[in-house]
Amino acid sequence: MKKLINDPRHYVDEALEGLCLAFPGYRKSGRVIGRAAGPQQGNVGVVTGGGFGHLPLFAGYVGKGMLGACAVGEVFAGPPVDVCAQAIHAADGGAGVVCVLGNYGGDRMSFAQACEEFADEGGTTATVIVADDVASAPAAECAKRRGVAGMTFAFKTAGAAADAGASLDDVKRIAKHTADRTRSIGVALSPCFIPGAAQPGFAVPDGEIELGMGIHGEPGIARLALPNADDVVQAMTERLLDDRERQGGRVALLVNSLGATSLEELLILYRATAKLLAEADIEIGLRYVGHYATSMEMAGCSLSIVELDDEIERLLKRPTECPFWPR
Partner 1 sequence: MSEALTTADIAAAVRRMHACSDAMRDDLNAADRVLGDGDTGMTVASILGAWALAIQTPSSDVGTMLQQLGRETRRATGSSLGSVMAIGLIAAGKAVATPAVDRSAIAAMLDAAADAISERSGASAGDKTILDSVLAVRAAVASEANVTDAAARSLDDFRPREARIGRARMYGAKSAGHDDPGMLAALLLLRAAQS
Contact set with partner 1 (CB under 8 A) = 49, 51, 71, 73-74, 76-84, 104-107, 109-110, 112-113, 136, 144, 194, 197, 199, 201, 214, 216-219
- The strand ranges marked E within the chain are 26-29, 32-35, 45-52, 69-75, 97-102, 125-130, 182-190, 208-211, 222-225, 250-257, 283-290, 299-307
Strands of the sheet with 45-52, listed across from one edge: 26-29, 32-35, 69-75, 45-52, 97-102, 125-130
- Smallest distance, partner 1 to C-beta of residue 224, A: 17
**CA–CA distance, 62 with 47 (Å, rounded to integer):** 8
For partner 1, the closer CB: 201 or 249: 201
Which is closer to partner 1, CB of 99 or CB of 316?
99
Q: How far apart are CA 87 and CA 91, in angstroms?
A: 6
Give the residue among 103, 73, 85 at the shortest CA–CA distance from 12: 73
CA dihedral (324, 175, 284, 305) in degrees, to 10, reads: 90
Q: Are 273 and 239 in contact (CB under 8 A)?
A: no
Closest contact distance (angstroms) between CB of 170 and partner 1 is 28
Least distance in angstroms from the C-beta of 186 to partner 1:
13
Question: Which CB sits closer to partner 1, 73 or 96?
Answer: 73
| CB of residue 173 to partner 1, shortest distance in Å | 24
Distance of closest approach, residue 48 Cβ to partner 1, in angstroms: 13
Cα 185 to Cα 4, 189, 234, 256, 309, distances in angstroms: 29, 14, 12, 10, 22
Contacts of 167 (CB under 8 A, 6+ apart): 44, 95
- Nearest CB to partner 1, comparing residues 63 and 80: 80
Active site residues: 54, 216
With respect to partner 1, which residue has the nearer C-beta, 188 or 308?
Answer: 188
